[in-house]
Amino acid sequence: MLNATSAVLVTRTVVIDEAVRSAGNPQLVVLGAGLDARAWRMSELSGAVVFEVDHPASQQDKRQRVDSLEPVCKSLTYVPVDFGRDELGPALAAAGHDQASPTTWIWEGVLPYLTHAEAEATLLAVAERSAEGSRLIATYPMPNRLAALGRRGMQVYSRLTGAKDPLENERHVSAWSPEQMRSLLAAHGLTVTSNVDLFATSRDLSIPARQSRFYGLGYAVVADKLGG
């Protein structure tokens, strides 16, 4: 499980970094930032203002961990938001996000934890605050019955052996087909420029990945707010 997970994490990091670089926007908003390290490691962000949005509890933990580290971006602002309860748009506005200037949005490894309604509410705020030239980069899982069975198997195995289920607190409530994702983004004014299968991409990048149909490896989508 760790091997498969690390292969997909490396792959999505490469894909997302490249999409952030090529957009070159003056603002970056990381939605559900977790331990995202881009503000500390991507020198290409030296001229960018970065906002890290996350659940207050996760963000507090992150802030303790990075306390002694210096970001390499122009500025870094933390925006605590629970996507299930709080309003993203006003929170970003209050934090100084500029709606009139292009933004790159990263939504990495977060969609499985959100209901479809929470995902749509977040996307609505993203669309409203995306000036022309903005870009959304998201990873999402495909509906995968075998992966669901694998998670259930892990639960049963852990119960029977008395071991801790590593997926116990990992909600996995949503999945989209590439077509559903394309329509959802189009409905919010975002045009898909690439939508890649992460397992196939790991192969293209020669990242050693053992394929198992029990893992839902998912897709990475890049969608742009075009002019006109």
Asked if 226 and 191 touch (Cβ cutoff 8 Å), the reply is: yes
Supply 194's token pair: 């690439």
Q: Which of 10, 17, 26, 58 is the binder for ligand SAM (CB under 6 A)?
A: 58
Q: Which is nearer to ligand SAM, 167 or 192 (CB)?
A: 167
**Taking CB under 6 A as the rule, which mask of x and - marks residues 72-111 in contact with ligand SAM?**
---------xxxx-----------------------xxx-
**Residue nearer to ligand SAM on the CB measure, 109 or 218:** 109
d(CA 223, CA 81): 23
Q: Which of 21-29, 53-61, 130-138, 181-189 is the region at the interface with ligand SAM (rule: CB under 6 A)?
A: 53-61
Q: Is 212 in the site for ligand SAM (CB under 6 A)?
A: no
Q: How far apart are CA 50 and CA 98, in angstroms?
A: 11
Q: What is the DSSP letter of 73?
A: S
Which of 34/133 has CB closer to ligand SAM?
Answer: 34
Strands across the sheet containing 191-197: 75-80, 49-54, 27-31, 103-107, 135-140, 219-224, 191-197
Nearest distance, CB of residue 112 and ligand SAM, angstroms: 8
Confirm if 191 and 224 have CB atoms less than 8 A apart.
Answer: yes
**Reduced to 3 states, what is the DSSP secondary structure of residue 105?**
strand
The residue among 15 and 127 lying less far from ligand SAM, judged by its C-beta, is 15
Tell me the closest approach of the beta carbon of residue 226 to ligand SAM, in angstroms: 26
Binding site for ligand SAM (CB under 6 A): 32-36, 54-55, 58, 81-84, 108-110, 113
